[in-house]
A and B are shown apart, each in its own frame.
Chain A
Amino acid sequence: MAGYFLRRLVQSALILLGVSFITYFLLFILPADPVRQIAGRAATAETVANIREQLGLDQPFLVQYSRYLAGLFQGDLGRSFLQRTEVSTLIGARLPATLQLMAAGIATELVLGLSMGVAAALTRGKALDNFLMITSFVTVSAPQFVVSLLLLYVFAVKLGWFPIGGYGTFAHIVLPALTLGLLGSGWYSRMMRSSMVEVLRTDYIRTARAKGLTRARVILRHALPNAILPVIAMIGIDIGIFMGGIVVVESVFGWPGIGQLAWQAIQRVDIPIIMGVTLVSAAAIVIGNLLADLIAPFIDPRIKLR
């Protein structure tokens, strides 16, 4: 167990190192010059050259990258090119908002997805099943940009049930969490349905029925806990999908998280921020997967970590 944990930890560190290298390299070869963005349009050639030199952007790729890594190992993400503030301060100020939204989004998709999946499995082949599976198909395919604007228009503007974007109270989180949750709920309902259908076919369910247990007890006590296991294991992977969706959802709802920060930084080629957000998101995905794998044996004793 300890050996496994250590090995996974080293693997995770290597993955993050790889992510940092690839991202830094892509930003390096990008045909857009961050110095032009900092210098603005009135800058003279000397000003541009001066800024390039001061930031070390005149150095070859490996020099720049190793400088960045050296800072990173000391916990220094650098300063934003345009804001001139420590990237760690900017991310630190916004991370709680993103984590809140992520937690709310995951809760929403699990509640929606699992209940839809169970309902569909229990009514297999009937109208409700068909309806739920078509719904899941729609929520999976609908672009989040459209869904978020639609929700905003109907529930915030027309009905006035929720505030029109922003951050602060519970009411603010409902629509962005729903937007994120709807996408995930489609995946989860399909997985839950097939997992449930499979479990319902097993011998032990037949035995349970044969024992004369009530239908409710069979489903809740015997089928559900077994069907839910493979689905729960997906949450770790899900964090990656979430990180992608969060950029769009945060922008539309004015949610002050790191997705919004990344989106604005990308448009202005603010390399330290892009690197910082990428690494933090990658770390979240890596940690999420690690936790999912570590928790798995506790949920399902059949799984052994080696």
Chain B
Amino acid sequence: MKKLLTSTALMFAMGLPALAQEYTPDPAATPGGNIVVTYKDDVATLDPAIGYDWQNWSMIKSLFDGLMDYVPGTTDLRPGLAESYEISDDGLTYTFNLRPGVLFHNGREMTAEDVKYSLDRVTNPETLSPGAGFFASIAGYDAMSDGSATSLSGVTVIDPLTVSITLSRPDATFLHVMALNFASVVPQEAVEAANGDFGKMPVGTGAFSLDEWVIGQRLVFAKNENYWRAGVPYLDAVTFEVGQEPVVALLRLQNGEVDVPGDGIPPAKFTEVMGDPAQAAQVIEGGQLQTGYITLNVTMPPFDSVAVRQAVNMAINKERIVQIINGRAVPATQPLPPSMPGYTEGYAGYPFDPEAAKAMLADAGFPDGFETDLYVMNTDPNPRIAQAIQQDLSSIGITANILSLAQANVIEAGGAGTAPMIWSGGMAWIADFPDPSNFYGPILGCAGVVEGGWNWSRYCVPALDEMATAADSITDPAMMDERMSKWSDVYMSVMEDAPWVPVFNEQRYTMRSPRMGGADELYVDPVSIPVNYDYVYATE
């Protein structure tokens, strides 16, 4: 029997935790208005196959759509360009029924051929997409990747409104993958007409279309009057001004010239803003799928000893580090952030106990400690955090030399496996999609232990990889709880082996001008980072 899921209401009735109800529109929302959003860095590209930056992630979400989407402000999946989908019993074939009458910004109707073209394009090596690897579970990916095919054999157009995707292995995260920006549906004729500059001339089906782009100055998004989701977006236009220092953006916000400073509140100004009731009222706090951690390279003595790694875990005063960043985080107990499915509730993590840590270190054969190197990215507050870690370590006898380097150099050292310890700040893992598997493979799994990989601990336990694969083979939505408990087991084993010191989960703080409306969740949207432009509105 095929599981036929035709409406979200039905899915909810069946008690599937991963899929929730449609979004209830804000009754107070008023259409119209133009807002100004600032960013420091220029927008590199709006090509959904390529864009992977802080500032362009939610911009691309507003210009394009994928087959799947998330309920605004949440991590719950909902159908996007696909009206419904069916999963075969073996969990290997997904059949998506597309929404009829969806128009691209160029006026042409979107069809199944476009879905196929878009997936072929993102997995084609010539596209140089940083997200190609997400599609590795689609049948025919390997042939695309090595250049022996120009089209994914697993993606079949059944009729203009039906496309089926066959996987080479069960993948419980597949629907999340189809909601990633990289899976956005793009029209072939526009990509080809742009002649390599599709990133500057994007055409999608999204709530907004690109109206104007003055390089280095501003981008203007105009409301898509033909948007297939009724009632949104509310705003007539969004103007993104780039090249604005966060401090300057904050001053302009106070002056009423800016509605959302996209880079948030600069750390140096945080206390001042929060101390002023008028300004603090404009701040919205939210969690994010992020963990800041210290990696301990398990292939480099003395961190090859579990006892040493556990002792380091017990030596770090996480509360104090949270204070260093003005309390903009919560202490972490485990790799997964608390809002991530699969997070182990009730696990307290390693206690802060320098005395016990010192004793463990002595038992492990290092009564006088040892000397090591701590790599850190050189932008504030990371060097200050590294100093706190250094002090904590010295209290149990470990002398850590801080190597404060540019981001690219720290990433290089981590990828080469030559760094004994790295503080992940400024480069820390933020989930691509709200699923526990996204915190494992590249950063704690064997797949990340390669030259240039992101598993900076060089931690590789094949048995755990098998557990992870087993968890991701559970594709039946009714067995989600079992899948999550398997993931919880994986992360608890990781904690026992202690290749990381999970330090904190950073909170996100966004500011908005008093005239901005919309639920707080939209300003700290866990998926449309940093702001969900489709659903916020202006009150004047």
Q: Is A36 close to B, CB under 8 A? A: yes
In the complex the two chains form, is A97's CB within 8 Å of B409's CB? Answer: no
Q: How far apart are the CA atoms of A165 and B134 in the complex, in Å?
A: 40
Within residues 391 to 444 of chain B, which ones have a CB less than 8 A from any CB in chain A?
406-409, 411-413, 415, 429, 432, 442
Main SS class of interface, B: loop
**Whole-angstrom CA separation of A226 from B52 in the bound complex:** 59
Give complex CA distance A165, B126 in Å.
39
CA distance A264 to B40 in the complex (A): 9
Name the residue of chain A whose CB is nearest to the CB of B453: A45
Instruction: Kindly state whether residue B145 has any CB partner on chain A within 8 Å.
Output: yes
Q: Are A50 and B452 in contact (CB under 8 A)?
A: no
User: Do the beta carbons of B145 and A261 come within 8 Å of each other?
Assistant: no
Closest chain B residue to A97 by CB distance? B216
**Bound: A268/B247 CA distance, A:** 21
Which residues on the B side are within 8 Å of A260 (C-beta)? 42, 216, 243
CB pair B447–A252 under 8 Å, yes or no, is: no
- The answer to whether A157 and B251 touch (CB under 8 A), given A48-B452, A82-B44, A267-B407, is yes
Asked, given contacts A84-B47, A167-B217, whether A152 binds B132 with beta carbons under 8 Å apart, the answer is no
Decide: B452 and A41 in contact? CB cutoff 8 A.
no
Is the CB–CB distance between B45 and A84 below 8 Å?
yes
**Is there an interface contact between B134 and A42, defined as CB atoms closer than 8 Å?**
yes
Residues of B within 8 A of A97 (CB): 216
Task: Answer yes or no: A32 CB below 8 A from chain B CBs.
Answer: yes
**Contact indicator A54/B454 (Cβ below 8 Å):** no
B286 at the interface (CB under 8 A from A): no
The minimal Cβ–Cβ distance linking B443 to chain A, given in whole angstroms, is 8
Known A-B contacts A84-B199, A85-B197; A264 and B241 likewise in contact (beta carbons under 8 Å): no
Contact, CB under 8 Å: A42 / B131: yes
Chain B residues whose CB sits within 8 angstroms of the CB of A261 once the complex forms = 42, 216
Q: Is A33 an interface residue (CB 8 A)?
A: yes
**Does B131 contact A254, Cβ atoms closer than 8 Å?**
no
Given A54-B125, A264-B41 in contact, is the A40-B131 Cβ separation under 8 Å?
yes
* Residues B252 and A33 in contact, CB atoms below 8 Å apart: no
Number of chain A residues close to chain B: CB under 8 A: 57
Instruction: Determine if B243 and A256 form an interchain contact, defined as CB atoms under 8 angstroms apart.
Output: yes
Question: Assuming the A-B contacts A47-B130, A84-B45, are A251 and B245 also in contact, with contact meaning beta carbons closer than 8 angstroms in the complex?
Answer: yes
Whether a CB of chain B sits under 8 angstroms from the CB of A245 is no
Determine which of B216, B217, B412 lies in contact with A31 in the assembled complex, contact meaning CB atoms within 8 Å. Answer: B412
Which of B129, B244, B453 is close to A254, meaning CB atoms less than 8 Å apart? B244
A42 touching B432 by the CB < 8 A rule?
yes
For residue A59, CB closer than 8 A to chain B, the reply is no
B216 touches A44 (CB 8 A): no
**Which one of A51, A85, A256, A268 contacts B128 once the chains associate, using CB atoms below 8 Å?**
A51
A49 to chain B, nearest CB (A): 9
Residues in A whose Cβ lies below 8 Å from that of B470: none
Most central of A42, A45, A94 by chain B CB within 10 Å: A42
A255 contacts B by Cβ under 8 Å = yes
Q: Are A40 and B145 in contact (CB under 8 A)?
A: no
Which residue in B197, B216, B251 is a CB contact (below 8 Å) of A94? B216
B216 near A256 (CB under 8 angstroms)? yes
Which residues does chain A contribute within 8 Å of B411, judged by CB atoms? 32-33, 36
Residues in chain A near residue B133, CB distance under 8 A: 42-44, 46-47
User: Does any Cβ of A come within 8 Å of B24's Cβ?
Assistant: no
A252→B450 CA distance, assembly (Å): 39
Question: Smallest distance from the beta carbon of A187 to chain B beta carbons, Å?
Answer: 27
A122 within 8 A of B: no
Size of interface on B: residues with Cβ below 8 Å to A = 56
Q: Tell whether, in the assembled complex, residue B243 and residue A36 are in contact, meaning their CB atoms are under 8 Å apart.
A: no
Produce 1/0 per residue, B306-329, CB < 8 A to A.
000000000000000000000000
Nearest chain B CB to A57 CB, angstrom units: 12
Interface string of A80-98 (1 = CB under 8 A from B): 1011110001100110010
Contact A31 B409 (CB under 8 A): yes
Whether the Cβ atoms of A256 and B217 lie closer than 8 Å is yes
Within 8 A of B (CB), among A1-41: 30-33, 35-41
**B:245-296 near A, CB below 8 Å:** 245, 247-248, 251-252, 254-255, 257
User: Which partner residue on chain B sits nearest A152 by CB separation?
Assistant: B248
CA distance A255 to B243 in the complex (A): 7
- The answer to whether the Cβ of A131 comes within 8 Å of any Cβ in the partner chain is no
Binary interface encoding of chain A residues 153-168 relative to chain B, with 1 for a CB under 8 A from any of its CBs, else 0: 1001100100011110
Least Cβ–Cβ distance between A35 and chain B, in angstroms: 8
A84-B45, A84-B47 as given contacts; A164 in contact with B251, CB under 8 Å: yes
Question: How many Å lie between the Cα of A48 and that of B241 in the bound state?
Answer: 32
Other-chain contact of A84, B196, B243, B254 (Cβ < 8 Å): B196
Contact A165 B252 (CB under 8 A): yes
Q: Find chain A residues with CB under 8 A from B452 CB.
A: 33, 35-36, 45, 48
Report chain A residues within 8 Å CB of B454.
41
Residues in chain A near residue B255, CB distance under 8 A: 157, 160, 164
Residues of B within 8 A of A165 (CB): 244-245, 248, 252
Residue of A nearest to B451 (CB): A45
Residues of A within 8 A of B252 (CB): 164-165
Q: In the bound complex, how far is the Cα of B131 from the Cα of A62, in angstroms?
A: 31
**Contact for B200 among A45, A48, A85, A251, CB less than 8 A:** A85
Shortest C-beta distance, B239 to chain A (Å), equals: 12
Confirm or deny: B175 has a beta carbon within 8 angstroms of a beta carbon on chain A: no
Which B residues touch A93, using CB under 8 A? 214-216
A230 to B199 CA separation, bound complex (whole angstroms): 50
CB distance from B199 to the nearest CB of A (A): 5
Q: Does A79 contact B (CB under 8 A)?
A: yes
A residues within 8 A CB of B52? 40, 42
Contacts from B to A (Cβ < 8 Å):
41-42, 44-45, 47, 50, 52, 125-126, 128-134, 136, 145-146, 196-197, 199-200, 214-217, 241-245, 247-248, 251-252, 254-255, 257, 406-409, 411-413, 415, 429, 432, 442, 447, 450-454
Contacts A32-B408, A42-B432, A43-B133 known; list 13 others, CB within 8 Å.
A32-B411, A33-B412, A35-B452, A40-B52, A42-B134, A47-B133, A54-B126, A80-B44, A84-B128, A84-B196, A84-B199, A251-B245, A260-B42
Sorted nearest first, the 4 A-B pairs with minimum C-beta distance are A32-B408, A256-B216, A40-B130, A93-B215
Between A and B, 10 residue pairs with Cβ closer than 8 Å are A31-B413, A42-B133, A44-B447, A46-B146, A48-B452, A50-B125, A90-B215, A165-B252, A166-B244, A260-B216
